[in-house]
Amino acid sequence: MTIRLAASSGFCFGVRRAIQMALSAAEGKNNDVYTIGELIHNPQFVQELTEKGIKICNDVSSLRDSTVIIRSHGITRQELETLIANRNRIIDATCPYVSRTHEFIKNAIDENYDVIILGDKNHPEVIGMLSYGNSSTKVVAPGEIPKDFNKKRLCLISQTTQKIEDLNNLVCEILPQLIELKIFNTICLATTQRQIASAKLAKHSDLMIVIGGKQSSNTKMLASMCSKYCQTVHIETEDELTEELFLGKQYIGITAGASTPESRIVKVYNKVLKINGEEDLVTSIQSIPLFKEESC
């Protein structure tokens, strides 16, 4: 088998930054530090963080005089106000690309635009974005066409992990009904690059292995995109790979979501090598061959 890794696999800038901030906050501390929700959507890595004293808290109002890390997805405006009121020491690891969506929404509301957010209404990032809107702010899912919106002055903004095609499609659907449409393309470049690289690899693979938390929005998006081109499995760990999966397959592609540690990618790659009967395993992601389109 030929096994190749998609370019831009693994931790993105925002996740790497949040982890570094959390680890340095926990270093040398006797008391636990808390994250609001899981720091990243990766159960195995969250377990490692817990062992380092970084615990998860889902009830903001229960924290007082504590050290609290805001993860890369951000939190709601109301949660932030509660944390401040309860004298917590806040380490804001909200990804700057997410923070700017809050600013854009606040400014659009001040300028009297109604706001539509393209995204998953249950995702913490979108819940945070929504809190900076007002009572007319709506969330629409990819492929959904909004009804009853302000036909004069509308602002459209996206969750950072959405697909650009879905934003384009939404614009095409609503623009003919509008006088003025303000659009913020807040889809993160790291997400777009990862999606493009994974799709290119999937087109040249018989099997795609997508590594990342089963709850990770950007990993689920990668798996759905790759599945258009070849058989695709979404796994959290190498233990989910069986030899049968590889029967009759020649080209194997590997990609990983933005919250997948490099060490996990290495373990998955080594498992595939072993299934392929190879004995020389790798110790770092840099030793894994990257897919280059011109090599096809």
Catalog residues that contact ligand SF4 under the rule CB under 6 A: 12-15, 72, 95, 97-98, 160-161, 188, 190-191, 218, 258
Task: State in angstroms the smallest separation of the CB of 20 from ligand SF4.
Answer: 13
Q: Which is nearer to ligand SF4, 67 or 186 (CB)?
A: 186
Of residues 174, 167, 135, 132, the one with CA closest to residue 153: 174
Residue owning tokens 């933005």: 258
Task: State in angstroms the smallest separation of the CB of 84 from ligand SF4.
Answer: 23
C-alpha–C-alpha distance, residues 57 and 40, integer Å: 13
Beta carbons within 10 angstroms of residue 271's beta carbon? 18
| β-bridge mates for residue 231, sequence order | 207
Task: State in angstroms the smallest separation of the CB of 280 from ligand SF4.
Answer: 33
What is the DSSP pairing of strand 138-140 with strand 114-118?
Answer: parallel
Q: Which is nearer to ligand SF4, 205 or 255 (CB)?
A: 255
Task: State in angstroms the smallest separation of the CB of 35 from ligand SF4.
Answer: 14
Task: State in angstroms the smallest separation of the CB of 239 from ligand SF4.
Answer: 26
Active site residues: 125
Task: State in angstroms the smallest separation of the CB of 160 from ligand SF4.
Answer: 4
Helices (H), ranges, the chain: 13-26, 43-51, 77-85, 96-110, 124-130, 164-174, 189-203, 217-226, 262-275
Q: Which is nearer to ligand SF4, 1 or 7 (CB)?
A: 7
Percent of the chain as helix, strand, coil, to the nearest 5: 40, 20, 40
Q: Any idea what DSSP says for residue 48?
A: H
C-alpha–C-alpha distance, residues 269 and 245, integer Å: 14
Q: Which is nearer to ligand SF4, 67 or 191 (CB)?
A: 191
Long-range contacts of 29-35 (CB under 8 A, 24+ apart): 29/53, 29/67, 31/66, 31/67, 32/66, 33/66, 33/67, 33/68, 33/69, 33/91, 34/63, 34/66, 34/67, 34/68, 34/69, 35/68, 35/69, 35/70, 35/71
Q: Which is nearer to ligand SF4, 256 or 272 (CB)?
A: 256
Q: Which is nearer to ligand SF4, 72 or 205 (CB)?
A: 72
